[in-house]
Each structure stands twice: as structure tokens, then as C-alpha cells.
Amino acid sequence: MDRYSNLEVHYNQDPNNAANPQSQHPSPDHSSFPEVVPAADQHKEAVVTPDPQGQSQKEYIPAANLAPEVVASHQHQYYNSVPQNEAAWQNTDGQAAAAAPERRICGLRRRTFFIALAVAIVVVIGVVVGAVAGVLTSRQKSASGPDNPDSPPSSTNVNVMDVSSLTASNWTDSKGFTHRAVFFQDPANALIGRRWDSQNRTWATTNVTAVMANSATHLDPAPGTALASAALDWPNAYQVRVHFLDRSDLVRTTFADDPVNWPDRWKNDTMKDAKLQTIHASRLAAAWERCADKNCVGVWTVAYQGPKGAINVANYTDWTTSTVVLDSNVVTGNTALALVPQYRGTQDNMGLLSQSYSSGTMGSLQVTAYDNKTWTKKTAEIIPDLPLPAESQHVAVTKWGSWSKTLSYTSMADGTVKGSWWDGPQGSTVNALSSIRFDGGPATANFSAIAATLDAMFYGIMGDEVHEYSVDSSDAATLHYVGRVYP
């Protein structure tokens, strides 16, 4: 059998010695040397140059299965110590010679192992991150899901939150120009204000939440919170206030102290640190109570339903002290609320609208008056036969007929609207509006929320838009379409 050696063998470089076998250095006995196999394409006998003393340079030859093949120097086909010819790794029997074993990990080449390890680490990290995200999402849904008002409800709306409330106010400046402001929530839970004046006759937008984000106190209204606004009129310094509920069902207030010159400047009102706690998802109502004396600035007033169901009223003179206007046994839970100033033609009087219940399924809209600095607690029915639950209904109230009459509209759960008006003292004849006609505008007037300014302008949310109507000066049952307020 052919043998392999790791001994590099040189051809005899001395031509004289090669030609004269009888030189002074006799040829060594080749039988004492290991066999040398030349390259496959040559059959020259390889010889070993003896040392000057005639002694062969013996070298230990390992077993054939451990020694690399020796090839002619001009036939080396290596670079970087890696053979490029597969034949160089084959012995004469066609069997692979055993080279020095490569280091392996878990049966894999080192490079393959580390690549597989890196891929496995990435996969594990992805699984862990996905699992954590799933748990957090699940917790968030369980804590603020569709039944929890602390989370903005999901919808396809892009302009107006689909469960947003609506409120509106108006005032007149010293030059006689009329100003109107409408407030609602967008799908991101931001409080949005739209303002209009009779001088420019265009609508402009203020994102009140974004404006307040740069202040020390951020707005954090409950998604779908009740909204109530009021405006201070000439001859006083102008101001617009918006009340809403936070996520703890506490009444909060923000205001613009100069809406004519600085409409984008909004501030937080601490309300003297009052804690006006409400029933969950209470409705709100607000008004600026005028004074009989023109030198009096007037009083800001807000109404809400307390935790036990009674209707309370608090005002600017002392927010920390509220007054029970109606006991819980005469109003429904989550009743719609509205405050109307200058009630019965008197500057410092007000009227409060709420809903009563006559049975488990029906109720009515009622009014009670603030007269001679006292809430009478007496009620008069305004709109009968309103189906319950009350939280599916909204109320808008305005002055009509040169402020001599009070006009009220109520939107039903199906989006339709009922109305009535009355004048004179409490208990005077109430004129019911059998049907409301919307003159112009969208083909179907189906409102999810309504509001009105005190100058007889009506506003409603329809789908993803806010629209404006004006009350006919002689027929309160007719509302003329003015245009789209937003977007």
C-alpha cells in the first residue's frame, strides 16, 4: 500500500552527483527511507540529499492515516493553507484522509452554530416583546374597554368623537360684533373650539387641549364627557368658560380671559380647589348669571348631578359650597341639564332644565326657577312623554322673541328632535312643537348631540360633522340651515 509522508522531499540539485553514481558520496540505501509518492501526473523517483557525513537525514513518518500527502513543489495548489483541489484530500484508495478535526459546538461548525444562536436570540426576543405587548394591551382593554369611559371609544370618525357632547356660547363685543364659540371633543379626546364673528364671518379652530399642553395644568377630560360653556358679555371684560368632567368625575374648568384679542390663550381655573364630585357620567349646565345692577360683573354658575342623584348648583362666589336645587327623587339618573339666564325677563333670574320620570320607561323635561336669590324647587313640565333612559337624550335651550321667550329642544335616542317654548312667569302656558322642520342642510337631520347659543342659533353633531342652523324668528319649529361648522 502506498504511504504518505509529511516530509518535504527535494530533487537532487547537483547535476554531477546525479550523473555520477560513483561519486565520493555513495547513494544511500533507499529501502531505509519512507516511500515518497509524486504528484499524480509524474513518475519521477524522489531522492533525499544525504548530509556531508553520508548519514541519511532520517525523519519519523507517522502512520499513513495521519500524514498529509506530499506533492511536488510546483504542484502545490494551496493558498492560505487551504487545499483547492479535492483530490489533495483523497488517498489512493479513494477514501478521505483524516485531517486535523475542526472544532465544533453541538455538532455544528462554529460559524454555523453562532449564526443559529443569533437567529434564536432574535426569535426569543421577538416572542417576549410580543407577549409583553399582548399582556399590556389586554390589561388596558380590561381597565378601559368599551364599557369604561376612561378610554376613547373606537370609531371610524376622524373629526369628531362619535360620543362627543356639544356646547355653544355667544357674546357681543364693544363694537357690536357678534361672537360665537362651539366646543366638542375630537377622536383623540382633545377639546376643540370653533369660533366665529360677524366681522370676519369665518370659522377658526382652537385645539384647547394642545394649547393647555404647554401650561402647568394639562387638560385630561373623560372621553365623551359632558360639556357646558358660558360667556361674559358687554359691558364687562369678555370671557368664555368651558366646564367638563375629568376621569374621576370631578368638575373641571378652563377659560379664555380675552377671547376677542387672544382667542388661543386658555387657562385652568382651580375653582378655589373645590371638589365638585358628580355621579358617574353626569351631565353639566353652565350660565353667566347677570346682575340687575350694571356695575355688577355677574356670577358664573354650573349645575351637575351629585353622587346621590340630587341636582346641585355652585357659583363663582364660592365654588366650594354648592346648593341642592332638586332632590334625587324628582330627577332621573344622568338627566340632561341646561341653565338659561335672564329667565322670565329678569336680569338676575335663571331657569334650570332637567328630566323627571313618571314611570320606569317614560319621563318629561321640567324647569325650576331661581327667583329672588332662591331656588324654588318647584317644577313645571315643558316636554312630556320622553322615553327613558335619559342619558340617550340631549337638551339645548335658548332665548327667542327678543329674549322674552325661552325655547328648548330635546334630541331623542333615534336622532329626532322635540321642542317647546314658553314665556312669562313659571307655570305659564307651554307651547309644544309637534314636529321640527329642518330647512336645508343634510337630507336627514339625525343628531347625536345638540347645543344652542342664546342668540337662537342651533348646533348639532351628525356623524363626523358639526352643523349650524338658525331658529326662524316667527316659527320656532323651523330651523334654517346655515352651514357646516366643522370640519
CB 282 within 8 A of CB 341: no
Spatial separation of the C-alpha atoms in residues 251 and 324, rounded to whole Å: 16
Residue closest to 7 by CA, chosen among 47, 55, 54: 47
pLDDT of residue 151: 53
pLDDT digits (tens, 9 = 90+) for 117-168: 888 887 778 777 666 555 444 433 333 333 444 555 567 899 999 999 999 9
pLDDT of residue 146: 37
pLDDT digits (tens, 9 = 90+) for 196-237: 999 999 999 999 999 999 888 889 999 999 999 999 876 667
Between 118 and 31, where is the model more confident? 118
pLDDT at 22 over 80: no
Between 98 and 361, where is the model more confident? 361
Percentage of the chain lying above the pLDDT 90 cut: 48
Residue range 12-18: mean pLDDT, rounded: 46
pLDDT of residue 48: 47
Domain ranges of the chain: 1-100, 108-144, 167-486
Mean pLDDT of the chain: 79
pLDDT of residue 296: 73
Single pTM value for the model: 0.69
pLDDT of residue 131: 62
Distance linking the first and last C-alpha atoms of the chain: 96
Superfamily of domain 167-486 in CATH is: Fucose-specific lectin (2.120.10.70)
Least confident of 35-49, 105-119, 322-336, 340-354: 35-49
